[in-house]
Structure 1
């Protein structure tokens, strides 16, 4: 029993020291303009798979930005190379969710990468995606009121 415990500790500590594989990333600049409010938080949701696109909690990561009195801001991020899409909301009443009307249409400002403006249904990942393949990519998104 003691030998089994000792082996487990040795193997476990070796795994903890193992380095994670390096991920090839590139710097990307996201420019968000036409903010409705200069004080309400803007949330940016970054997706890298079509399956999780626009599904709650399925984003690769998200950032919350306070506009600090401005109608535009720039957010530098390092993204792993590949296909990405961004969805943005501005939480005008600071309740940490996007408010919707009785049929599910957002009543707070929102936007998507490639400035896709859905009319009937939510956009697809394919419509909003952009490719990160080298440094210097700039993604400009205009917030929709």
Structure 2
């Protein structure tokens, strides 16, 4: 009896049963608690929608946000909203759906007809703001971002 074919068969079956360890998952990015202080809401009942962006290339592009939140003011003109964000540069765009139709209404030129706001007191008139104008940098816990300027068209 030839031992070579038997040895090859045994080695082949051993390698078929061998398992490759699964790649370890990517380490979770530590987030920091950032508090958004949102003031002077147009409505104390209508939902406020927040779209967070961490990439200048996707800023204000439909469906390209990194995080989306919706909050009801529950009778308040000002709200404090804690958000967990990864360290780095972020921008946020807010809108308030004052007619509760679940969308940001716009006129025939594409300009929003419902209140909207950005950090850094940016109040655009003729063009959308840039990521650079609206950005804030998350560096550690306890950071506060104030949003007090609303465009009420």
Q: TM-score, normalising length from structure 2? A: 0.82
* Corresponding residue of 1:49: 55
Give every structure 1 segment of 4 or more consecutive aligned residues whose post-TM-superposition deviation is greater than 3 Å.
Answer: none
Offset of 1:97 from its aligned partner?
Answer: 1.2
1:104 counterpart (110, 116, 129): 110
The root-mean-square deviation of aligned C-alpha atoms, in Å, is: 2.0
* Corresponding residue of 1:140: 146
Offset of 1:6 from its aligned partner?
Answer: 7.2
Aligned counterparts of 1:36 and 1:77: Cα–Cα separation in 2: 22
Aligned counterparts of 1:68 and 1:20: Cα–Cα separation in 2: 39
Count residues in correspondence.
Answer: 138
Distance 1:6 1:108, change over 3 A: farther
Aligned counterparts of 1:144 and 1:27: Cα–Cα separation in 2: 27
Name which one, 1 or 2, has greater alpha-carbon Rg.
2
Aligned counterparts of 1:104 and 1:40: Cα–Cα separation in 2: 22
Aligned counterparts of 1:90 and 1:54: Cα–Cα separation in 2: 15
Q: Structure 1, residues 53-103: CA drift from partner, whole Å, max 9, x if none? A: 000111001100001011111110111000000100000111221101111
| Structure 2 unaligned spans of 5+ | 1-13
**1:1-145 maps to which residues of 2 (within 5 A)?**
14-15=22-23, 18-142=24-148, 143-145=150-152
Aligned counterparts of 1:59 and 1:65: Cα–Cα separation in 2: 17
